[in-house]
């Protein structure tokens, strides 16, 4: 049975000359696990909202969307609300009550579900999702991963037949994201719920997906089985940059045979084809030491006088011109570190120096006048005007000239309201606004959230260009691969303390969970290869084995 059918869907926003979606066509069969991917701003979020009647934006549309053979407009209110579930990118935007069990009950109450059935379903879903200890908790006190899992449970308690998710892991740490995606796969397998997931984090989802939908310039360019599509695409196709590490490694190393999709496939079927005579690349030249731009010494911070320390004995140093990435789980204190540096919060103990000057010695607005600038995780908080052009002009009337070398095309966005942009476009517009402040120390909280692989590379070019000008960049991220490829050093924050910091090749090579897929693929075959480029280079240097068939079985057992 066909679960979802989209035919010739074209969507144009008010006062926009060009449609955001053009002649979109695809179908999903019942029980499909489909993934939509494509470049930032290609229309993924608009498409997802067009599939949920209650979230359809104000627009002019043509074409049709049908759920199980019935047009969305003809569905009765109960079916539309309960049978088509939707999970948003930002966990906080979907939570509406003050208790976890209230949140689970909210949808059922609105459907008029009898109380005995409601209680039974809450108990059942809480047990399935392992949320029983959280039922009386305030959702605002949950971690990001717990909030997103609560959103998923709140939708699944209504037993939908179609589940739509718009980049649900964008703000989750690697472990929470993996748990969330594993739960999605389990729901698909256990209940045959049809899943349509828009996502940039493809490492875990591509191997699980039964259907891959590629978008570009507002339309669907490919739709089919992931293995079939990835076999047809040329290695230099732009979308290839966002594919799983196993796929990129296969093409970069000139592999033969079936293209692997997962870490396991790459380890068992691909890596044994290559000899292991050269096990390690030379370590990169160390970055010359410079004066400290930022120094924390035994810093403590808590949000409430009698509360728990969020930062506890935190000590670390960032050098001038360095790109330093902080990784760690949701709730570890990463965003708090940035807010303390930016002067939004004040530590109650310890010493913080910025460019050799104590933070408390920066008076008035001197800390923020071409010194420290913060781009927060929720970039919507920096938008105050009606258009992107007004946002940029607020900082500098000469913004076009100052952003001449900005690598993202801002012109199509200038006359749009910032809230009408996609998540990735909002990130780019906010970054452009931040760049106009000419900071010496740039603080970025999850700057790659919502960006496709090519946009991330352009962002990296911006950051390296700033480094060349002497700007120091401190970046909080869950994007492990971005950190591995572009950071000078990476630090791991846990329970408010910096556990360790090192260059990426040493930092990620020994981690089991906070590491790259390339490191998991190469571990046991090569040493300290933590990026696809490093692993591919070692494969090329070693060359294809003549006895790959025999060795494959023996080498497949290399430990992770």
Please provide the DSSP assignment of 484-513 as one string.
Answer: HHH-SEEEEEETTEEEEEE-HHHHTTT-SS
Cα–Cα distances in angstroms (integers) from residue 126 to residues 114, 115, 292, in the given order? 18, 16, 49
How far the first Cα of the chain sits from its last, in Å, is 41
Are 180 and 169 contacting, i.e. CB atoms less than 8 angstroms apart?
yes
Sign of CA dihedral 113, 119, 125, 129: positive
- Which architecture characterizes domain 292-507 according to CATH? 3-Layer(aba) Sandwich (3.40)
Q: If you compute the radius of gyration of the chain from its CA atoms, what whole number of angstroms results?
A: 24
Same CATH fold assignment for domains 2-232 and 292-507: yes
Tell me: the pLDDT tens digits for 57-102? 889 999 999 999 999 999 999 999 999 999 998 888 899 999 999 9
What's the number of CA atoms in the CB half-sphere (13 Å) around residue 142?
A: 25
Helix (H) or strand (E) holding 28: strand 21-29
Tell me: the pLDDT tens digits for 17-51? 889 999 999 999 999 999 999 887 788 989 999 99
pLDDT at 160: 96
437 phi, psi to nearest 5 deg: -85, -10
Judging by beta carbons within 10 Å of its beta carbon (0-12, 13-18, 19+), is residue 74 exposed, middle or buried?
exposed
CA distance 214 to 220: 6
Please identify every stretch of the chain with a pLDDT value under 70, giving residue numbers as ranges. Answer: 546-560
At 14 the three-state DSSP class reads coil
pLDDT at 552: 42
Are 471 and 321 contacting, i.e. CB atoms less than 8 angstroms apart?
yes
In this structure, the chain runs to a length of 560
CA distance 162 to 139: 25
Q: Which CATH class is domain 2-232?
A: alpha beta
pLDDT at 551: 42
Domain locations in the chain as residue ranges: 2-232, 236-272+515-560, 292-507
Are 430 and 404 contacting, i.e. CB atoms less than 8 angstroms apart?
no
Judging by beta carbons within 10 Å of its beta carbon (0-12, 13-18, 19+), is residue 356 exposed, middle or buried?
exposed
pLDDT at 560: 35
């Amino acid at each position: 049975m066909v679960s979802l059918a989209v035919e010739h869907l074209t969507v144009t926003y008010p006062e926009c000359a060009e449609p955001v979606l053009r002649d979109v066509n695809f179908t999903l069969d019942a029980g499909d696990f489909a993934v939509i991917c494509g470049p930032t701003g290609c229309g993924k979020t608009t498409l997802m909202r067009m599939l949920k009647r209650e979230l359809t934006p104000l627009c002019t549309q043509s074409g049709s969307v049908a759920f199980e053979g019935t047009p969305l407009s003809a569905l009765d209110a109960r079916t539309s609300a309960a049978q088509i579930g939707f999970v948003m990118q930002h966990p906080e935007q979907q939570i509406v009550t003050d208790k976890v069990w209230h949140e689970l009950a909210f949808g059922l109450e609105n459907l008029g579900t009898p109380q005995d059935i409601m209680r039974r379903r809450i108990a059942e879903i809480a047990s399935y999702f392992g949320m029983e200890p959280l039922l009386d908790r305030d959702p605002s006190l949950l971690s990001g991963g717990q909030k997103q899992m609560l959103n998923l449970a709140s939708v699944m308690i209504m037993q939908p037949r179609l589940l739509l998710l718009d980049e649900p892991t964008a703000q989750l740490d690697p472990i929470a994201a993996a748990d969330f995606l594993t739960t999605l796969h389990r729901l698909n397998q256990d209940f045959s719920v049809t899943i349509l997931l828009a996502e940039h984090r493809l490492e875990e989802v591509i191997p699980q997906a039964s259907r891959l939908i590629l978008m570009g310039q507002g339309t669907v360019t490919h739709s089919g089985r992931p293995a079939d599509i990835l076999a047809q695409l040329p290695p230099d196709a732009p979308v290839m940059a966002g594919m799983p590490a196993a796929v990129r490694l296969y093409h970069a190393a000139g592999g033969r045979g079936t293209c692997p999709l997962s870490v396991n496939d790459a380890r068992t079927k691909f890596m044994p084809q290559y000899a292991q005579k050269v096990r390690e690349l030379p370590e990169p030249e160390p970055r010359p030491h410079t004066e400290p731009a930022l120094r924390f010494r035994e810093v403590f911070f808590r949000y409430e006088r009698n509360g728990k320390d969020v930062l506890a004995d935190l000590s670390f140093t960032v050098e001038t011109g360095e790109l330093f990435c902080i990784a760690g789980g949701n709730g570890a204190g990463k965003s708090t570190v940035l807010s303390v540096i930016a002067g939004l919060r004040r530590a109650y103990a310890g010493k913080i120096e910025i460019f050799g000057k104590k933070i408390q010695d920066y008076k008035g607005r001197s800390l923020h006048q071409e010194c420290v600038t913060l781009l927060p995780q929720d970039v919507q908080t920096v938008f105050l005007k009606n258009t992107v052009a007004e946002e940029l002009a607020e900082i500098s009337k000469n913004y076009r000239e100052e952003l001449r070398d900005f690598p993202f095309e801002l012109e199509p966005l200038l006359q749009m309201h910032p809230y009408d942009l996609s998540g990735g476009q909002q990130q780019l517009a906010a970054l452009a606004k931040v760049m106009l402040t000419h900071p010496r120390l740039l603080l970025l909280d999850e700057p790659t959230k919502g960006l496709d692989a090519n946009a991330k590379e352009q962002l990296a070019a911006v950051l390296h260009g700033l480094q060349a000008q002497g700007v120091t960049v401190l970046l909080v991220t869950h994007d492990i691969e971005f950190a591995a490829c572009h950071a000078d050093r990476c630090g791991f924050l846990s329970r408010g303390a910096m556990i360790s910091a090192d260059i990426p090749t040493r930092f990620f090579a020994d981690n089991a969970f906070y590491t790259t897929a390339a490191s998991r693929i190469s571990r046991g075959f090569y040493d300290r290869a933590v990026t696809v480029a490093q692993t591919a280079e070692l494969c090329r240097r070693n060359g294809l084995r003549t006895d790959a068939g025999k060795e494959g079985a023996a080498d497949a057992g290399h430990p992770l």
